[in-house]
Every structure is written in C-alpha cells, then in structure tokens.
Amino acid sequence: MNNPFLQSYTAPLEAIPFDKIQLEHFKPAFEAGIKEGKKEIENIKQNTPSFLNTIEALERAGQLLNKVSSVFFNLNSANTSDQMQQLAQEVSPMLTAYSSEISLDEDLFKAVKTVYKNSDQSLLTQEQVYLLEKTYKGFVRNGANLPSNEKEQLKEINARLAQLTLTFSENVMKDSLEFELHITNEEDLKGLPDGIKEAAALLSKSKGKTDGWLFTLDYPSYIPFMKYAENRKLRKQLNEAFGARGFNSNNYNNENVIAEIVALRLKKAQLLGYDTYADFVLEERMAKSPSNVYQLWDELLEVALPKAKEELNEIKKHAQELGFEDELEAWDFSYYAERLKNKKFAINDEILKPYFKLENVLEGAFKVANKLFDITFHQRQDLPLYHEDVVTYEVKDHNNNFVALFYADFFPREGKRSGAWMTSFRGQNKYNNNIQRPFVSIVCNFTKPTETKPSLLTFNEVTTLFHEFGHALHGMLADGYYESLSGTSVFWDFVELPSQLMENWCYEEESLNLFAKHYQTEESIPMEFVQKIKDSAQYLSAYQTVRQTSLGQLDMAWHNLNNTTALSVSEFEKSAGENTQLFPYNEKTNTSAAFSHIFAGGYAAGYYSYKWAEVLEADAFEFFLEKGIFNKAVATSYKDNILSKGGSKHPMELYKQFRGAEPSTKALLKKAGLI
C-alpha cells in the first residue's frame, strides 16, 4: 500500500496530501511511527549521556509519529466518522502505552538524570537550559521515580484515561446529534430574524425533510433561538436539551465516565506524591497552587457577584415591564437580556451582522496582523484540502519569506465537533540548520451562507474569529529552535493571552474601519454603531465574570478532591455551584456532563486560565492603548518577547520583558466597568 505518511510530501510547500490520505493509511503509519520512535530511544540509550545525544535527541525523536498523530486527531475533531472514532479508540491505547514506555524507561531516565545533574548550564543557551529542566521534570512528573509496581499502575491509569476522554467527547457529540427541534408552524418562529429562519429552512431541507425549519444544538442554531424566539416553551425545550447533553438516560450518558476520570486522575496525582490532581497540574502553571486560583476568584467575585445580581434584577424588571409574570429561568435570560440591550443601546446582532460578512472579517484579521507584524496572507487554490469548506493561505513576511500555512475551516457539519479552536498540523523548529515553518488551522462553527445571503457573523462570532486568530498568530510567528518549546507550547494559563488580547481590536474604530463594511452597499460601519459596540461591551460584564468563575470553580471542585468515594455528578455539581448560583437549579441539566474542556480537552484543573489570561490581556492592551493600537514598537516588543518565544522561558519573565511589570486584576476590573 502506497502510504503518504511514509514518504516525503510532494505538494507545494510540503503541504499535507489530504487528497491522498485514506482512513486505512493511519494505523500502519501509527505502527511505523511507534517502531521508529522505539528505535530512536534505543539509540539514545547506547550513548554516553550528553545534552546533544540525550536531551536534544529525545526532543527530536518520534517525528513520524507526530506527523501522523497531528493529522489524525485534528481530523477526528473537524471531519470525523464512526469508523475514524472507532480507530481513535484503537490507536489511543497504543499511543498511551508507547508514551508511558518512554516516560517510565529506567535506563532512559538514568541518562536524562545524568545530564540534568552534571551539565554545566553556563555552556547551554537559555532555551537549552529550559528544555533540560522541562525534560527532567517531565520524566519525574510521569512517574520515573516510582517503584516498578507503581509504574505499572500509572501505565494502566494513563491508558484508561486516554480511552475515557475520547469516550466523553464522542458521547457529547453523539448526544448533540440525537436532538432536533423540527418546527412546522411558522407562528412558533415569532421573533426570529429572517436570516435565522432561512438558515433553519435550509438545514431542514438538507436533512431530507420536506417542510419546516430545523434547529439543533450547534451554536449558530441554538444561540439565536435562545436570544430571539418569543415561544418560551420551545426556548425551554431547547435550553434543557442543550444542558442535558451527556446527561440523558441513553448510551451517551457521561456520569459514570466523569466519576471514573476524576477518580483515576486523583489516583495518578497521589501515586506521584501530590494531595490532589489540581496540586499536580498547577505546579507547572503560572498560578502555581489552588490557593492562588481561589484568591483570583475571591478578588473577582467580591466585586462582580453583587453587581451580577443587580444586572439580573434589572433584566427581571425589564421583563416585567414587557408583561412577563413568571420567575425568570435560564431559558428566559438571553431573550430578555437581548431586549434590555436593545433598549439601552439600540444595538443588536441583526443591526450589526450586515457589516460583518465572514470573508471581510477574516480579511480584517489579516489587515490587523499586517499592520502589527508586517505579514501578508495569500490564498492558495492549488493545495490539498480535507474538506471543500476549508480555505488555505500562504503567510509571508515583509521580505516575502514563507512564514506559515494557514487553514481556515468555518462551517458546521456532521462529524465536526461544536465550538471553535486553533490547532496545528505541523510545528515549527530549526533542526539541522533547516527552518521548518508551521501549518496552523482555525476551526469554527459559523452560520453557512444561504441562497440569498453570505455568511454574516454576530459580533460574538467576530470576536471568536479574532480570538482563534490570536492563537494562530502565536503558532505562525513562532521562532524557536525546539518544537516542544515553540508557538502555543506554553503554560496553559498563558496560552490564552494572545487569543484574548486579539479580541480587543474588534472594539476599536481604527481597526473596525479596516473591515466592517455593509455586505450589500460596501458602506463602512457608522461611527455611532462603533460607539454603541464599545458602550455595550460592559453590558452584563459582572454576570459574565460570575459565569466564567463558576465554571472555573466547578473544574477546580472536581480536581481539588482528595477522595472520590460515593460521588453523584448532579449533587456534586449543585454543591460546587452554590456560591455563584444565579438561577433556580434545574435537575434535568448538568454542566459537567458536557464540559469537554476539562473532561476531554487539556483544561482539567485549568479552566481558570481564561480568567487568568483576561487579567494578562487587559493589562497588556492597556499598553497598546497608551501608545496606539497599531504602535509598531509595542507590537514588535509583543511579537519578540511573547509570540515568537513560545515556551522557551517562564511566561512571567516573558510578560515582564514585554510590559515591564507583573499584571494586576485592576486593569481587568476597570475594562469590565466594575471599578
């Protein structure tokens, strides 16, 4: 079998040959990658240990496996099938076993330890010192110092966790697909904008239904319905279905999966000598300890919680003015919050959407990047794609040098998980005097174009695109030597700084003028709208702060346990959320059961990172505002000290090199209008 993974890529720019890759190519390529990786490890163990032949050789081992894994797992998120998910369940234990074998290899650790204890660090570069420390700590944190019986236990735990996190993710996706709200009475669509109705009719047709409008739990379908639909009964139905993903009495229920994941993570942490899984995780984060995370929340909640209750009361009062007589429930919130927003600011998504045609917003992100970092984006029609919706760009610097390949994948489809994320198909490194530039992708779920309208984004979707593009810039502008320290390979509570910082350009007149143009008339967005966007940016900021904090507290509650006996997912969640509960508790819904960030992604004991990064980005953007949002000196310092450096140094050191001081929560509270 002619396997594309086992030969050099021949497409222009060495682009990934998606047109040649078949499902049957993956398993043999994984097996070949594991075999090659094991051989490389054996060669390392034969050497007299030194930095180059042990630490650097280990860093560079497993390149074939990385090549296959990055394509497979990215496609499993963005363009999967039942067969691919089945294969994921097959190969995950293979990969975990391989990874465990390396991290628990006594001879290999002995060699690493020898270099760590005996190296003259004055002869190493800063990046080499950081790699040495990271490699040694990685072994210790993966159980290298454990006795052999406990190493075996750890291997089993890691293998089981790899399977469980995949199962969790698949359950959420499949349970989401189980639900459809098919409406045949046009009266039930009252309040919904024409564009949303048209998209729902198109979706209904695409699913083989002869009439009506179809709504699903995908964000572009779910969120507008909750925001605009007057039919309260249907809002409740949709809200409860969304909140019950992974919590229904069917084959996709995640309650037992959660209980097992939490118990295994705790067991792993305690095997490694930590009280809780949170203690284990936070040792390698900027936050350092659970107590520092709780301190951040205490500071934020002290200011935000009373104000959030005031905001909620204001919405209740407005609802009553509009004739609403019941208790305000979770499924009423978005609807009446949107009505109050219209009253206060005379601005809403439907007024703004014509100015945010998807192609223009993407072009706007490119223009902002060009003004800040002197890079340009050139669409390539000649490169293989994994789906017809994907668009590919070649990124160049001001000297016309190749910087990166950028893939953009924007529309929902079956086989694509919900939400938005940035990922990488190839990392960046400078091995063997050969500069390997990265292949970066952003994946979103925006409303597809209809027969009469292009894809028009809500303002929230505009900020989502800029957010993911900020991550992409972190990947694209990486300039390190070692791939494992490059781009977004940073502490989890630092990785959201570039993404959240980028959102700020969506609110600035100077930036909006570059791309916010009416899709029919080409007229620039009126300045009064820009002012209203800025004025409304603080709308419900206290509520959003409490909401984000409650999710972070739920995550930390699950991972700061020191025993897991008799856990009921619903009771535990109810107890964890008591101090931030703003709506009556609903027994039919459960956040944990679909909380993929912490049970299927990398945010376990790390969801606080979003708020932590908001503190950083508010402080950082204050610097841009002081000097000018397109100030070249500030942008260059940001690029040189943060974006290009990746994880080659402790993030607080990098931040201080850029900003000159550590951040405080004041900039964030000020930005949110809370002080």
Cβ 467 vs Cβ 443: under 8 Å? no
Count of other CB atoms within 10 angstroms of residue 623? 16
| Cα 481 from Cα 479, distance rounded (Å) | 7
**Could you tell me which of 410, 513, 417 has the C-alpha nearest to residue 455?**
410
E-state strands within 162-249: 181-183, 213-215
Place of tokens 């359950």: 171
Q: Which residues are catalytic?
A: 468
Q: Which residues, in sequence order, are CB contacts of 470 under 8 Å at separation 6+?
A: 498, 499, 500, 501, 502, 503
SS3 442: strand
Q: Give phi and psi for 612, each to the nearest 5.
A: -55, -45
663: left (phi over 0), alpha (psi -120 to 50) or beta: beta
| Cα 391 from Cα 428, distance rounded (Å) | 21
Q: Per DSSP, what are the bridge partners of residue 393?
A: 379, 406
* Residue 224 token pair: 């507008």
Count of other CB atoms within 10 angstroms of residue 371? 17
Count of other CB atoms within 10 angstroms of residue 501? 25
* Residue 576 token pair: 């964890």
**Could you tell me which of 206, 209, 189, 198 has the C-alpha nearest to residue 450?**
198
Report helix angle 82-103 to 148-178, nearest 10: 160
DSSP string covering 147-160: -HHHHHHHHHHHHH
| Cα 160 from Cα 168, distance rounded (Å) | 12
SS3 429: strand
Alpha helices in 57-147 (DSSP H): 57-60, 63-78, 82-103, 106-118, 126-141
| Cα 544 from Cα 610, distance rounded (Å) | 12
212: left (phi over 0), alpha (psi -120 to 50) or beta: left
| Cα 658 from Cα 11, distance rounded (Å) | 39
| Cα 365 from Cα 410, distance rounded (Å) | 14
Cβ 349 vs Cβ 606: under 8 Å? no
| Cα 311 from Cα 303, distance rounded (Å) | 13
Cα end-to-end distance, the chain, whole Å: 65
| Cα 389 from Cα 369, distance rounded (Å) | 23
